[in-house]
Structure 1
Amino acid sequence: MTKKLLNKWNMISLRQKLIVTAVICLLVPLLISTTVSNYFAKDVLMDNAISNSRETMQIVELNLSGLINTMLYITNYIQFDGEMNSLISAGKESKNDGERALNNVKITNKLGSIANSLNDIYITILTEEEEGSGYTNYSLYNHNFQLFYDEPWFDKLKKTDAHELHWLGGQPNYILSSKQSSPYLMTIARKLQYSTVPSGYAIISIKETDFHESFSKISGNQEIMLVDSTGNVLSHQDSNKIGQPFPYADRIRFNEDDAQVTTIDGEQYLLASHKLTYSDWSLVHVTRYKDATQKINFIWRTNLFIQVSFFSLFLFILIIFVRQLTKPLARLGRVAGEIEAGNLTIRAKIKGNNEIGKVGRSFDKMLDRIEAMIKQAVLDQTKKRKLELEMLQAQIHPHFLFNILNSIRLKILMKNDQENASLIQAMSHLLRMTINRNNEFIPLYQEIEIVSHYIKLMNMRQQHPILYEVDMTEEARMVEVPRLFIQPLIENAYIHGLNEGGGTITITSRVDHQCLRVTVADNGKGMTEDRWKLLLEHLHMEEEALSTEERKGGLSGIGVKNVYERLKLIYGPTVKVLIDSAPDQGTQITLLIPMTAGEARYV
């Protein structure tokens, strides 16, 4: 790994090394200080946010404690006040209706005096369930207190001890006159017991709106609510949430003070809970974490912005000075890149009397000498390639004395043997083109005629003749091509495709995007995909690299490879060979030859 990094470092330019070194020397300390401060700041931010949240809930608790204490005071008053105990006991023991009515008025007046000294509070005392008797500080028009016996929580209330409070929390408002202004009431209940036998039950309710008014005093984008020990919402500014479970109750504990940072809808929130002192209710505070840490974050971001700004300014100044120093070197680098791409006419033209200027002038003089040497090398290489072409053609086509063949043809014609005379004529035409060295390039239609003579000669010894078809467009007809470049493909199709037997060979040609496309196809045995891919691979290998088995298998020799090498010598690497074949479906070999003028061909 270290070696790779060193290799990459050695490959970059001097200017890049200077800039990278400066960036590392400045950026690393900045990143370290930022990371360390950010690491320690996280705990500080969280502690500060939790502390602020607890202070908020403590303020709310102070506001709620007055309401809760009022409710506790009333339950204790009903339970322990001697006069109230006497009146309730007398009401239960009295058999005279008049005495009961008088006692009922006294208790109702006493409850009314308590309620009048306090704000909207509803008091209900149930004495005997069987008879449905009781006392309230509100009229039966607002609510029939006997309905409390049907509430699902009443059975639990009967099972509690006299010293225990039953914290019912948010209940639907049962007082008709205040139901619209406050849909819910905060309610607690208690069993009354003045002796060993239970005397009744006290139910105290206060408007839920009095509770959540304490929440509205908290400023900012915060949410605070009152929940019970199971996580059900008892009081909330949104009445639709009352009675519903707190959606994130599984992420926080309600039986003790707790605080957690959690993700809600892709954003971090601070959830904090605070258990109230005299009940099993808890306050829950929900606020966005970034709002809770906004001030400290602002200080941290400002400090980071200042550091980054000075770093960027210094880096900008450094780049300007480095650029002035290394601009001539960069110019030399670009010139070297152009030369590598093949443009030998470009020059650096660097001025100045310093060391870089001297290097630039020496570089230009060196290019002048190299360009002159290349021109001489091109001339020498052209002569060498012409000799190589002649040697390749000599491999494919042996020299015959076609004049003697013409004489033999005339004698055969004199004997009226037209068939053999035609064969001799084809042989003569074929050898004439082989021996002729004057015209290296001929029109494509003449190349097709040579191929037709070649096939005619092959059919002379065939029991089943070879049929051939030609599909040549008018545009391709007069395109000049190297002499005898199709014949090896016909021979390859005859030997390897048709197994030296009968069949059909098709020659098609057309011009496509300044490129001559010539295809030779047979309907012979074909090849598997692996074999024709191997043939394509061997086209690009040197002759010496091929094994004896590969030569015998027809993957090299006087065939496709020879044609490809010849065309590559003439046209350069832009020549392409495509092969398509399948078993029992024949083989198709396509040559893609660039259409360039004779004098501009690759040499």
Structure 2
Amino acid sequence: MKRIVSRVKLWYRNLSLAKKIHLSNLAVITILIIISGFFANRVVNDIIVKRTLNNSKQGLNNIIENLNHLLDDVEKTCQELVEHKKVQEVLSKPKYADTPEGWDNYVVVRTIMENITSMKTVINSASIYGIDGRLVGSGFINTNEFPNHRNLKGELVQQAFEGKGDNIWLDNNLVPYQIDISADQSITMLKAVMKSGISTDYVLGVLEVKISQNIFSKLYTYLDYAGVGRFIIVNKQGMIIFPDKDNSFYDNLVKENFVHLTSNHEITGRVYNYQKESFLISSNRFERLGWIIIGIIPLDDLIQDNKKVTNIIYFVGVICILLQLVFSIVMSESISKPITDLCDSMMSAAQGDLEVRVNIVRNDEIGYLSKTFNKMIDQISQLMEQVYIDQKKKRELELLSLQSQINPHFLYNTLESVCSLAQLGRTEDVFSMSKALAMFYRGALSKGRNIIDIREEIKNIQHYLTIQKIRYMNNFDYQIRVEEDILPVKIIKLSIQPLVENAIYHGIKGIRGKGKIWIVGRKKQDTIIISVIDNGIGLKEDQLHEMLLNINNRLDKHSFGLRNVDERIKLYFGNKYGLRADSRLGKWTKVDIILPLNYDLKEENR
């Protein structure tokens, strides 16, 4: 996995700037469109589901309200029947329908029932029984069939008696979880007929009313869900009492997922997954009969229109991607072309064409880069010219240094001293001077090297002082004290000799008595200081100031040796290094060489 990620990163880094802009914009807008479409689909789906749930619950509430209104109307009609004077009279002295008088009573009661219930289309039949359960009168309002039962079951009579005039609703003759309900099956209400005008609970008989199940078909319009949903009614025994047509798929869905609602009082609405399909199921409880009314809607049918909206979003997204590509090409061209031109100019400059310049036509970041590039090329050109001048100057200084190294006056004076010593028979001094002269010039030449160790420079100065001390007949002494740890540090060749020569000719040569020269080398923080001190005539303050000016004045012919050393040190190490002088008239003069302690100085062999 890491290897794949590394390859992708490498591939992306190697793309051109224009392709990176195209790819980045395409990736961003594609991801945004996909995310927007996804969340838009989710949000709209949630809104549709919530609204449908609310509508479903409202529809269920409407069904329950209509059922309550319908049953209230039936109960009011039944109350009118049981309180009717003629019904009370017939029940007080019952004559059953199997006798002539009973038949007359039956006809009277039936006529009363038909008159009272003729406008109640939901009532299929109404029957009145005596206290022993035998039929007293019956009227089938919405059917021509004669009653096929003569007696009311004892347990129903007992149940009505115990109700003492209350309305008792029953959904009888139903087989658990069967949809095949015969046409004569219906909902039944039992009501005990109580004796009017008597305060005690005196029961005259029982009223039985059967309600047609067509009422559910009439109520179905409240929960039609635009033709994609349906509702199911389950009684408190777990029996499906509506619909009356076989639809095992929905029946199994209810049994497996929602029938538990018949055993508790949960009123809910949620999405269920069943057989790889999703359904929006809501429910409410009809407390009067202990029923659960369940609404079922296939979710795919419900959100079908939302899928169309999502497809439109993605279609618009594709168009946006195409427009973005066109915009990205135009935008990247306006960005990448100036950068490409700038890169071409840089390549030309890298190949040595310092005349190249970028044409600046904009003031944005790219324009700023172009201005900076042109300024950089100008500075490089100036630096190249300055380097050329410095190199030329360096070679001139090296040539002058070489000329001073083989100063014919110094060589002539030394050889003349050697001859004089030889004539005087001072063979030991002749040997010492000749040996010192040879060693001095060997060190001065240094096999063509310009950079040597401080140790070598000190040895060369010792040879030089040996020669001068013999020439001046031991008229001065010298002392060299250099810290051991700075001896390996590099120094420019013949940096100390001009200072010593200056101390001899302009310092101790003009005093009476014996002169002395000290050469001291020490480390101070990140610098090295090599001091040449003499106890000569010293300098006045104005003379010291003039000497310092002469060191820094390239056109002055005086103090050439000191100026030569100072310029060479600055050329190699920088302007913060070089010579520093101080003096007290009639007492001493000191000239310091300031060098860096740590400097990666490359030795040049010329």
Q: Place the TM-score, normalised by the shorter chain, in its bin.
A: 0.3 to 0.5
Find the structure with the greater CA-based Rg: 2
Specify which structure has the bigger relative contact order, considering alpha-carbon pairs within 8 angstroms and separated by 6 or more residues. Answer: 2
TM-score normalised by L of structure 1: 0.43
TM-score normalised by L of structure 2: 0.43
